[in-house]
């Protein structure tokens, strides 16, 4: 029996067709619709263009290229915008509380516009950290044919600088290692133009993960922000989504558990950001796929780190782009049976079929190691449990930091106090900096600790100090750092019971994080524990704090019972 052909206007037909919808058509004629346009599949283009950040400043033009591809393929493009905020600009300030909140707002706003307008499919273009998971969450929720496009990476600044160079320069300046004039010179030269942050930080990590999931076209994640390759990528994405509408291929046909395993493997091979754990858990929730912290451990035991990329490595994303991007890396992993080649993608073909034409890396390049000589044989993303993190925590251990740290707790209520103490020289070798009440609820918004980790590195303490938090880390953070500690302090987690001088032991081999305090003493401390005063009592932050769940489950504002997949 032949499969029923999908209706390419399944959603727009409800909005446009028949006498009853005359008013809908009348409204759209005012924005340029013609008689013919009403008979075409309606394809939204979700643009994250903004002057707020260099990550997104160029996306308005890329959105127009996607529209052109849609129209050329016989669809009707409709451009709309969603928000973006800049982690790099708001880092270390109260504004950073809105960063993770924006992921939910982006997903909500795309879902709202696509659902209200009756779009048959859409293209989503993202360029800053929360744009990407927000777009992917909306794709999974709506389950309408759609393609994600990455806005592309920034090029290096003068002297191979990037945004992390600036944060670490602040620490060096505080330590007297950098003059005022030199600090200003770093400020003026580190960010040369459009594009997302230059290393394997969260933006490039998530772009790569989304391509590995199968939601973007091959090569989309490894392109410079400015250039014909990225413009062509957008045009082809527009064409692709019209084809997907006609074929009826939807995100949940692509987002299987095996696809998430592919994404985790690629993130590990690239040495990607700890934020990938948070965001992949959230996307899986939206797709109804069962995924947990323990899956990262399971996959991490067989997945090597191969790419020598910043922040812990030497190279930038633009240099990986120059040698072929991530496709040769993915082909290496596929050939070693580390990826599931049968996973479907937005090309309408399997991952294996997409990678048949992938080139090999050029001889002599040093950016990506062969599987026979990895930077690390197992994952750098280490999930820890213990009496400090009963629900889990996430560490980024590349091996350069060592695999064991034990020291005395230096406790700070919030990021600002910790950063001030580090810059003032009050944090010393052997300290474990504890930054708490920065979790999803307690922050709220789970701020990234790039300012304190940058200050630690800039002061030359990177191998002598550890930092733990119920907040999270920028993809640019490196050093002996542990985040996502759950339960968080705001809900009575053990991190809220630590006192200055307590001995903390972090063991990446045994995957443990413990405070050397007897259980009886922790119970005694709990009897006098009181919740931290809320940062916000109204508005978006307060609403988020009321709704958000644990970081161990992706810090989402709704928990979805994963559907059993029939594939």
Name 90's Cβ contacts closer than 8 Å, sequence gap at least 6: 96, 98, 99
Chain mean position to CA 148: 14
Distances in Å between the Cα of 442 and the Cα atoms of 391, 468, 470, 539 are: 16, 15, 9, 15
Nearest to 199 by CA among 319, 304, 99: 319
- Our CA dihedral for 310, 313, 315, 321, rounded to 10 degrees, sits at -70
What are the tokens at 355? 């990678």
> N- to C-terminal Cα distance for the chain?
19
Adjacent-strand bridge partners of 503: 408
Name 326's Cβ contacts closer than 8 Å, sequence gap at least 6: 208, 211, 212, 221, 222, 266, 270, 320
338 by DSSP, 3-state: which?
coil
Name residue, tokens 């592919």.
262
Considering 474, 477, 486, 552, which one is annotated as catalytic? 474
DSSP state of 471: S
Nearest to 511 by CA among 355, 310, 294, 242: 294
Nearest to 439 by CA among 494, 400, 386, 479: 494
Please count the residues of the chain. Answer: 567
CA torsion sign for 209, 213, 219, 220 is negative
- Our CA dihedral for 279, 283, 288, 292, rounded to 10 degrees, sits at -20
- Our CA dihedral for 141, 395, 307, 227, rounded to 10 degrees, sits at 40
Adjacent-strand bridge partners of 515: 504
Nearest to 282 by CA among 88, 101, 439: 101
45 by DSSP, 3-state: which?
strand
Annotated active-site residue 47? The verdict is no
Distance CA 302, CA 261 (A): 12
Distance CA 395, CA 453 (A): 13
Nearest to 90 by CA among 105, 104, 106, 101: 101
Distance CA 373, CA 426 (A): 40
Q: Are strands 121-126 and 146-150 parallel, antiparallel or unpaired?
A: parallel
Within 10 angstroms of residue 5's Cβ, the number of other Cβ atoms is 9
Name 121's Cβ contacts closer than 8 Å, sequence gap at least 6: 41, 43, 44, 75, 144, 145, 146, 241, 242, 244, 245
Nearest to 562 by CA among 289, 291, 293: 289
Q: Are strands 480-486 and 466-469 parallel, antiparallel or unpaired?
A: parallel
C-alpha angle 287-289-295 in degrees, rounded to nearest 5:
135
On whether the CB atoms of residues 261 and 299 are closer than 8 A, the answer is yes
Question: Which residues are part of the catalytic machinery?
Answer: 474
């Amino acid at each position: 029996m032949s499969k029923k052909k999908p209706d390419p206007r399944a959603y727009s037909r409800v909005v446009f067709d028949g006498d009853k919808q005359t008013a809908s058509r009348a409204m759209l004629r005012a924005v340029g619709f013609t008689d013919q346009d009403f008979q075409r599949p309606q394809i939204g283009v979700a643009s994250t263009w903004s002057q707020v950040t260099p990550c997104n400043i160029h996306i308005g033009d890329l959105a127009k290229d996607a529209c052109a591809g849609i129209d050329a393929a016989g669809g009707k493009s409709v451009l709309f915008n969603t928000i973006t905020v800049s982690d790099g600009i708001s880092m270390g300030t109260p504004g950073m509380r809105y960063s993770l909140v924006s992921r939910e707002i982006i997903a909500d706003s795309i879902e709202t516009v696509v659902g209200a307008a009756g779009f048959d499919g859409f293209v989503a273009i993202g360029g800053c950290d929360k744009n990407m998971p927000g777009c992917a969450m909306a794709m999974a929720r709506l389950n309408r044919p759609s393609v994600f496009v990455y806005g592309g990476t920034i090029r290096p600044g003068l002297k191979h600088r990037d945004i992390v160079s600036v944060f670490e320069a602040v620490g060096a300046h505080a330590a007297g290692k950098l003059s005022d004039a030199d600090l200003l010179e770093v400020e003026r030269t580190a960010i040369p133009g459009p594009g997302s942050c230059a290393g394997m930080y969260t933006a490039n990590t998530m772009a790569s993960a989304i391509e590995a999931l199968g939601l973007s076209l091959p090569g989309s994640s490894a392109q410079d922000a400015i250039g014909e390759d990225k413009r062509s990528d957008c045009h082809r994405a527009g064409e692709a989504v019209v084809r997907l509408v006609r074929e009826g291929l939807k995100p949940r046909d692509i987002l299987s558990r095996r696809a998430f395993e592919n994404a985790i493997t690629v993130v590990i091979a690239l040495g990607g950001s700890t934020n990938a754990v948070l965001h992949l858990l959230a996307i899986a929730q939206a797709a109804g796929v069962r995924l947990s912290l323990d899956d990262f451990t399971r996959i991490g035991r067989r997945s090597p780190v191969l790419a020598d990329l910043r922040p812990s490595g030497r190279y930038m994303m633009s240099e990986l782009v120059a040698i072929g991007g991530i496709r040769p890396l993915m082909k290496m992993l596929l050939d070693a049976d580390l990826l599931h080649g049968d996973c479907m993608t937005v090309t309408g073909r399997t991952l294996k079929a997409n990678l048949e034409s992938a080139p090999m890396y050029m001889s002599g390049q040093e950016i990506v190691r062969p599987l026979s000589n990895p930077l690390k044989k197992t994952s750098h993303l280490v999930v820890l449990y213990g009496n400090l993190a009963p629900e889990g925590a996430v560490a980024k251990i590349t091996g350069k930091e060592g695999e064991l740290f034990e020291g005395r707790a230096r406790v700070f209520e919030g990021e600002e106090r910790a950063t001030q103490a580090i810059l003032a020289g009050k944090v010393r070798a052997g300290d474990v900096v504890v930054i708490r009440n920065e979790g999803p609820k307690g922050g709220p918004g789970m701020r990234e600790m790039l300012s304190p980790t940058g200050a630690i590195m800039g002061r030359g303490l990177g191998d002598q100090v550890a930092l733990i938090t119920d907040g999270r880390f920028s993809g640019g953070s490196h050093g002996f750092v542990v985040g996502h500690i759950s339960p968080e302090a705001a809900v009575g987690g053990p991190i809220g019971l630590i006192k200055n001088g307590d001995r903390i032991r972090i063991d990446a081999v045994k995957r443990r994080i413990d405070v050397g305090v007897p259980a009886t003493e922790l119970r005694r401390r709990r009897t006098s524990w009181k919740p931290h005063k809320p940062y916000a009592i109204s508005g978006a932050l307060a609403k988020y704090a009321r709704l958000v769940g644990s970081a161990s489950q992706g810090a989402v504002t709704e928990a979805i019972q994963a559907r059993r997949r029939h594939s």
